[in-house]
Structure 1
Amino acid sequence: MVDVYVVSAFSKNNTGGNKAGLVFDRPDLTSVQKMAIAKELGYAETAFITESKLADFRLEYFTPTEEVPLCGHATIATFTFLNLTNKLSKSDYTIETKSGILSMKVGTDGMVFMEQNVPTYSNILTSDSFNACLDTNSIDSKIPIQIISTGLRDILLPVRSSKALQKLKPNFKAMAALSKEQNVVGVHAFSLEESESKITAICRNFAPLYDIDEESATGTSNCALACYLFKYVEKKSQYTFEQGYNLNSPSRIVVNLTTHDNVIDGVFVGGYGYLVENKSVSV
């Protein structure tokens, strides 16, 4: 049997968020077993945390179908749990991942921030590439559709309004095909909020190529979005995103950017979380 802790990360007012499975100190598990555990749990990602020779912790991330190099919400969930169970003795940590060594920061208020890679801006897509995926009339043509990565490649898709975003009905088979063709994890659709709002944008994230039709909170894609907005919309040091409304799991994701001469040199994603349950699964 394997002990699993279920923690929701990027919660809003201690509800909602995105659940991840956490398994600690089981270096004996094979990749096949880890994937089987992730599949049985059924969450978008499950993190496996072990000792590291290179950092404070080693984290591996599995979806129900394969291993991925990085997962924002599962990492935030991990440090939320370690903080809640008084397993942390300092505020700054490092983690070893397949995306490299990344730094973590835990605030006195329990908010956890995770370093991402600096952005890589890739190709710009036309709205026609979405013809088979969704109603292209909903796309905001004033700003580009672009692939950006701060650890995972996502297509950033601007949508005209939060109402149009809410009404999106993607063809997931076509979107999976587009994701495969563009070598991305998925599509991060967003609508900008009014400038006086404390929320920068409302988002929906689709990753059907990885058997995740929609996800309620995604750290890496919102980091990519912050870098996109820094380049095309407004240069700020902090962006706040909300996601998960269509899944009845409202989530809040905060992204901080550090810059030098208008160039991004640091990307950090942060949020709160809470313990949902612990359970045992067989392998």
Structure 2
Amino acid sequence: MTDVMRYAAFTTTPTGGNPAGVVLDARELSDAEMLAIAAELGYSETAFLHPTDERQYRIQYFSPLAEVAFCGHATIAASVALGAQIGPGTVDLATQAGPVPVEIATDSTGGFTATLTSPPTSSRQASEQEVRAALDALGWPADDLDPEYPPHVAYAGNHHLVLAAASRRRLADLDYDFDALGKHMTDMGWTTVHLFWPESPTVFHARNPFPPGGVVEDPATGAAAAAFTGYLRTLGRLKDDTILTIHQGVDMGRPSLLTCTTISDDSRVKVSGTAVPIQ
């Protein structure tokens, strides 16, 4: 019987954040079995760890529909679960997107926090055709975008279309064509669409539709947060060692808090958060 743990990531309460499944030893499971577990669980991702050496693991992530190369919130959840088993310290995760070291630390309550270092980030301007098809599926006119933040396709282990909402109200009003957006994203190879509104230069509100994974929306998306931080750096809006705060999941009733930090002379991003068991 496979022991599937359930955690909520980027939150201090089980009713907030993004739920993730965690299997700490999946060495006996096939890909088909892991996909079946993820589909039955129904969370946006489930993390499956394959121990390879002391504090070293190969990790796979499955949505209910497919394997995903990298997932931030499931990494945070799995790392906090590991902390409860092996204690604080660094663990090294081998993902399909490359190595992801994670620092596990204790917090003031006796629980654990985790800080992952993402795969290298990159960002390019999105084409007019890419943006138009996405806006059509979202039901957003072009003037609902903030011209101060150009549309990009950003990467940090997965590709994400990044679109800036012109107002917090626009971001809150999300009612999109699931099939149309999912098809466009699949055709483009995007994992999520990262919709955001800037409260300040370092505080942002975000939403992440995820139809390619069979999920209407993610309440917290660590991989997209890392890619978004790389996008801001590409635009020249961030200095080294800048700390960003990203609020996500609020409009879903599952508030999440993600902290991202740029690294000097390194395109990678540190993403920090907490996770708690779901009873």
The TM-score with structure 1 as length reference comes to 0.89
1:86, CA displacement in angstroms?
Answer: 4.3
Q: Is 1:95 paired with 2:99?
A: no
Q: Is 1:259 paired with 2:258?
A: no
Q: Which amino acid aligns with 1:98?
A: Q
Q: Which amino acid aligns with 1:202?
A: H
1:129, CA displacement in angstroms?
Answer: 3.1
The secondary structure found in structure 2 opposite 1:65 is coil
> Any conservation in 2 of the 1:5–1:23 contact (CA below 8 Å)?
yes
1:233, CA displacement in angstroms?
Answer: 6.1
CA distance in structure 2 between the aligned counterparts of 1:203 and 1:58, rounded to whole angstroms: 30
Q: Is 1:6 paired with 2:6?
A: yes
Query: Matches of residues 229-244 of structure 1 in structure 2 within 5 Å?
Result: 229-232=232-235, 234-236=237-239, 237-244=242-249
The secondary structure found in structure 2 opposite 1:132 is helix
Q: Which amino acid aligns with 1:244?
A: G
1:128, CA displacement in angstroms?
Answer: 2.5
Identify the residue that residue 280 of structure 1 maps to in structure 2: none
> Any conservation in 2 of the 1:135–1:168 contact (CA below 8 Å)?
no
The secondary structure found in structure 2 opposite 1:52 is strand
Identify the residue that residue 142 of structure 1 maps to in structure 2: 148
Tell me how many residue pairs correspond in the alignment.
269
Identify the residue that residue 130 of structure 1 maps to in structure 2: 134
User: 121-130 or 186-195, which moves further after superposition?
Assistant: 121-130
> Any conservation in 1 of the 2:24–2:78 contact (CA below 8 Å)?
no
The secondary structure found in structure 2 opposite 1:270 is strand
Q: Which amino acid aligns with 1:193?
A: E
1:130, CA displacement in angstroms?
Answer: 2.9
1:16, CA displacement in angstroms?
Answer: 0.6
- Structure 1's 9 and 135: CA in aligned 2 closer, same or farther, altered over 3 A? same
Identify the residue that residue 24 of structure 2 maps to in structure 1: 24
Identify the residue that residue 281 of structure 1 maps to in structure 2: none
CA distance in structure 2 between the aligned counterparts of 1:235 and 1:123, rounded to whole angstroms: 17
In structure 2, the gaps of 5 or more residues are none
CA distance in structure 2 between the aligned counterparts of 1:13 and 1:66, rounded to whole angstroms: 28
Q: 2:204 aligns with which of 188, 201, 206?
A: 201
The secondary structure found in structure 1 opposite 2:246 is strand
Q: 2:214 aligns with which of 200, 203, 211?
A: 211
The secondary structure found in structure 2 opposite 1:235 is coil
RMSD: 1.9
CA distance in structure 2 between the aligned counterparts of 1:98 and 1:117, rounded to whole angstroms: 10
CA distance in structure 1 between the aligned counterparts of 2:62 and 2:225, rounded to whole angstroms: 20
Moved over 3 A (4+): 12-15
Identify the residue that residue 186 of structure 1 maps to in structure 2: 192
1:69, CA displacement in angstroms?
Answer: 1.3
User: 10-19 or 114-123, which moves further after superposition?
Assistant: 10-19
> Any conservation in 1 of the 2:24–2:82 contact (CA below 8 Å)?
no
Give the fraction of aligned pairs with identical amino acids, expressed as a percent: 28
Q: Which amino acid aligns with 1:87?
A: I
